[in-house]
Chain A
Amino acid sequence: MASTPEEIQKSVRSYLIVFGALCVFTVLTVAVATWYPLESLIGGHGFDVWDAIVGLLIATTKATLVAVIFMHLNHEKKAVYWIFAGGLMFAAFMAALIALAFNDPIDDPFFYTEPATTSPATTE
C-alpha cells in the first residue's frame, strides 16, 4: 500500500480518475435503462433480462473499482482476501438457495389436483 507521500500523491490521481469513471458509469446505467435510443437496443423495449444483465454488469464494474482502488484491494494482504471472499461466497451460496423455492413441486398447478386422465397411473 502507498505509504510515502510521493506514493500517496500518485494514488490521489488514481482516486480522481476512478471518481470520473464511476460518474460516467452511473450516467451510463441510467441511460441504458431509461433513454429511448439506448434502452430499446438492449433486449427489447422496456425492462427485460438483458437490462438486468447489463445493469448488474455495470454495477459490478463500479463496485469492483470502489473495492480495488478506494478500498485498496489491489495491494492488500492475503488475510483480507480470504475474509472478504469467504463472505462473498457465503452470500452467493445463500442467494443460490432461492432456486430451491422455484423448483418446489407446489409450484406445479397439478400438484394437488392432478386430473385423473393425465395422471401416469391411468395413462400407462
Chain B
Amino acid sequence: MEIPYIVSPRKDTGLFNSKIAIWLFLASEVMLFGGFFSAYVFLRLGADYPWPERTLPVLPGLINTFILIASSVTVVLAWAALKMRQWRKFQIFMGTTIACAAIFMALKAVEYKVKWDHQGVRLNDYAIIEGHLAYYQDGDEKRERNFISIEAESVTFSTSRHHRPWVRDILAQAEQRGATVTLADDIELLKERGGSPEKVASAGDELELGLLSTLKRAHERARANNSGVRTRNLRQQWAEAKSENPGKRGWELTATVDIDRDAIADDLLDEISSVTFDFSQPVRLDFDPRDIREGSSSSRLRDDTVIAGTLLDSPLHLEYVDAIDFQHLVMRAEHRGIDPETAITNSWLYENHEWVREVWAWHQEKVGALEQRLIDDYGLDENDNPRRVPTDKERYRIGWHDLAEKAVSEGRVELSAIDKIKEEFIGPNYAARGQETFPELEIPRDQIHFESKFTPAWNTFYAIYFAITALHGLHVVGGAVVLGYFLFFGRAMYLSNPEWLANRVEVGGLFWHFVDLVWIFVFPILYLM
C-alpha cells in the first residue's frame, strides 16, 4: 500500500502527513509534561518539609544542557545537509547527535547512581543525617551494614502470601548459625468433602518450600470450595426469605438473612492460613529494614511472616557522614514557637556527639561571616534590619562541601583540582577524604524515624525528580533510536528518494527539539530553583 503525501504536501493542510502526525504527537507530549510540571508545582507548594532547593549537582546538569543544545543544532544541520544532498555531512551531524544522546544518558546514569548509593536518615526529632553506609563481606556478597536483628524463637508464615526468597533467606540464616527450623505442630486437614481429616505434616518436619507450597494449594482449594458453599447457601437463604416475605424490600430483610452455618458445616474443608515453625535454638536473624515492621517481642515482614523473638540492638552504621541537616527540625520547632537555636542544641545529634557540636560551632562562625558580608554589600533597611540574610539552607544545613572545607581549613585533607571536579559528578570522595572529613556514626534504631536511599521514597522532591527526568531520559533514548535508524538504515531511501528521507529526518528532528525544549525547563526548575 502506498502511503499518500509523505513527500509532497496535502493541498488542504499544506503539510506532508507525517508532519501533521508529529505535531499532534508533540501536542500530546506538551500536555503530558505539562501534567508532570503541574505535579511538581503542586508537590512543592504543598510540601510539609523544607523543599530541597538547589540540591542537585549543577555542573552535570549544566553540561547536559549544553550537550542537548548542541545535539539540537546538529540534528537540524543533519536535515539541512540532506536537503542539500550532502550524505557525508548528514552522517557526521547525525552521528554527533546520537553521540550527544549517549553522553547525556551516561551523565544521567552517574547522577542516579550517586543518589542510589547515598543514605538519608531522618531522626525522631527531624534532624537529618546523610552519608554512606558501612559494608561487610557476607561470603561472596558485599552487604550493607543496615539491618534489623531479631533473636528468633519461632516463625509463622502466611501460607498464601509467603515470599519464597525470604523463606529461603530465613532457612539459610538459620543453617549458617547452626539451627534447624521444624514444624511446631502436626497438621491435619480435611481435604475432601465427606472424607476424614488426613495428616499432611508432622511436628518436627523440617521447613522446606515444598511443604509450604502443598499447604498453600490445600488452603487455596479449601478457600475456593468454602466460599462457593457459603455463596450458594446465602443465595438459597435469600430466595427463601423473599418467597416467605412477599412484598418486602431487600433492605428490610438484610438483618435477618444470613448463612446457615450448621447446614453447611459438613461441606466445608479445612483452611490453613498460617503455619508455625520453631527454631531448634534461639537464632539471630537479620532483615532489611524496609521489609520488616519490628516489635520488641514479635515482628512482621511485608509478606505477613511473623517472627517471634527478642528484638536485638540494630543500630544503623554510617561509615561516612557527609551532611547534617537541621532545616526540617527548625521548621517544626518554629511551628511550635521554639527558638531554632534551642531546638538544635537539644537535638539528639547535638547532645550525643562531640564532633557535631564542633562542626556546628564552626558552621555558626561561617554563617556569621556571611551575614556580615550581606550587610556590607546590601546594607540595612530603615528599621536597621539587614536587607539580605542567609537562607535557611545556609543557616541550618551542613553539606559535604562544608565538611570538606572545614577539614581543609584545618590543614587535614586536600584534593587535587581534578579530583575535586570528579567529586562534582560522583559525589564526595570518601576514600581520599577519609573519616577525618566525614566521621562515622552509629545511630540507635529507636532514634530513627525514617531512613532510605535518595530514591523516590526519600521525599516528594526526589519522587518528582526521578519521574520527570526518567520520563525525559526515555524520550532521549527513544529519539536516539529513531535518529540512529535514519543514520544506519537510511542510505537506501536516500538513494531512491532523498526528499522522503529528509522529511523523515525533519519529523524525527522535531521530536528531538521537543526533548531539548523540555530539558530547557527541567534544568532550571529541578536544578536551580
Contact = CB atoms under 8 A, between A and B. Distances in A.
B10 to A, nearest CB: 9
A119 B45 CA distance: 29
B30 A87 contact: yes
B528 A29 contact: yes
Contacts of B391: 45-47
B524 A56 contact: yes
Interface in A49-76: 51-52, 55-56, 58-59, 62-63, 66-67, 70-71
A44 interface: yes
A30 B58 contact: yes
B402 to A, nearest CB: 16
B73 A15 contact: yes
Interface stretch (B36-44, B199-207, B254-262, B317-325): B36-44
Given A15-B76, A45-B388, A26 B69 contact: yes
A2 to B, nearest CB: 8
A39 B113 CA distance: 30
Interface size, A (range): 35 or more
Interface stretch (B15-23, B182-190, B457-465): B15-23
Task: Name, among A44, A66, A84, the residue most crowded by chain B CB atoms within 10 Å (CB to CB).
Answer: A66
Contacts of B34: 90-92, 94-95
Contacts of B264: none
A91 B77 contact: no
Interface of B is mostly: helix
B46 interface: yes
Interface in A9-29: 9, 11-12, 15-16, 18-19, 22-23, 26, 29
Contacts of A58: 524
Q: Which 5 A-B pairs have the closest CB atoms?
A: A91-B34, A87-B27, A46-B391, A33-B528, A87-B30
18 contacts: A8-B84, A15-B76, A19-B69, A23-B69, A26-B69, A26-B523, A29-B524, A33-B528, A44-B389, A46-B390, A55-B525, A56-B521, A63-B517, A70-B516, A77-B15, A79-B23, A86-B27, A91-B35
Interface of B: 13-15, 19-20, 23-24, 26-31, 33-35, 37-38, 41-42, 45-46, 53-54, 58, 62, 65-66, 69-70, 72-73, 76-77, 80, 83-84, 374, 377-378, 387-391, 393-394, 509-510, 513-514, 516-517, 520-521, 523-525, 528-529
